[in-house]
Structure 1
């Protein structure tokens, strides 16, 4: 279950339109944020959701950034993580071949999402993203 509604995602993306796969992007982004937070201790309710307005906002913002990242990379599954360049229709993308996540790899997580989690006090270290 996503930490963000489609309406919240649409408001963030405005004036860009909400993608047809918005619900799936948000669900996947929420799962990926949960992956980053394995072992992190925070208060939850009986459903396992974060408790408190500040914590809920951190989760929501991180999920929105991660969903936007998935939308922009067009790679929900991670199957193209080692692709250095690709073209689709009139769009051509070239990715850096070297970076913090290793040679030839596209990071799995949005740098903005990681930053929100760090400044929100949920990550005290920089996570290994691949």
Structure 2
């Protein structure tokens, strides 16, 4: 289950129609990947309990879905970074992070995240994720 519903998407974007549930779920997975290492209280299903965090994740998922839709990625599968250059002799390649307009970050797996989603998570205090130490 994703962080946002079709009704959430319409309310967030002001659109008259929503994107697909599959795209909202893909956007939620993108948000999840950025949050690896983030610390916040969750319930027994692993969902956040603080209203402000719930809102930030919902809005970030909507913003990511909106960005994916804007770049023509209707199922969330195409937001990978484009290879800028490659060479066969030692198998090196260069990633072009600027290949998608409005990209704000890249996940560990190389998927691009729209700048709106990154901004929402940063303002909510969920990014950047830094080591949390005790003692």
| TM-score past 0.5 threshold | yes
| Aligned match of 2:26 | 28
**In structure 1, which of residues 118, 121, 125 is the aligned counterpart of residue 125 of structure 2?**
121
- Alpha-carbon separation, structure 2, partners of 1:23 and 1:11: 15
- Alpha-carbon separation, structure 1, partners of 2:54 and 2:69: 22
- Alpha-carbon separation, structure 2, partners of 1:29 and 1:62: 8
Specify every segment of 5 or more residues in structure 1 that has no aligned partner in the other structure, as ranges.
Answer: 85-100, 126-130
Specify every segment of 5 or more residues in structure 2 that has no aligned partner in the other structure, as ranges.
Answer: 85-94, 104-111, 130-135
Describe the superposition over 1:68-127 as per-residue Cα deviations: whole angstroms up to 9, x where unpaired: 01111112212664289xxxxxxxxxxxxxxxx7466334101010011011000136xx
Which protein is richer in strand relative to its size?
A: 2
- Alpha-carbon separation, structure 1, partners of 2:120 and 2:80: 25
| Aligned match of 2:113 | 109
In our comparison, the structure showing a higher alpha carbon Rg is 2
| Aligned match of 2:5 | 5
Q: Secondary structure at the match of 1:112?
A: helix
- Alpha-carbon separation, structure 2, partners of 1:83 and 1:17: 33
Count of residues in Structure 1 that have an aligned counterpart in Structure 2: 108
Q: What TM-score comes out, normalization by structure 1 length?
A: 0.72
